[in-house]
């Protein structure tokens, strides 16, 4: 199953990293994505 270009396992992994306290910006960097916010 794909979700926005990510496999289900990747989405679950991102969720677990966020629950573990990893900053969203760091998760995006590791995934090769840019994260911009205001």
For the chain, give the mean pLDDT: 77
Q: Is residue 36 part of a domain?
A: no
Q: Contact 3/11 with Cβ under 8 angstroms?
A: yes
CA 20 to CA 23: how far, in whole Å? 9
Instruction: Give the chain's domain count.
Output: 1
pTM of the model: 0.53
Where in the sequence is the domain holding 7, given as residue range(s)?
2-31
Q: Is residue 37 part of a domain?
A: no
CA 8 to CA 13: how far, in whole Å? 9
Longest dimension (CA), the chain: 32
For residue 35, what pLDDT is reported? 60
CA 11 to centroid of chain Cα atoms: 7
For residue 1, what pLDDT is reported? 47
């Amino acid at each position: 199953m794909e979700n926005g270009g990510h496999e289900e396992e990747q989405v679950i992994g991102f969720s677990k990293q966020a629950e573990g306290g990893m900053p969203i910006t760091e998760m995006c960097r590791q995934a090769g994505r840019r994260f911009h916010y205001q």
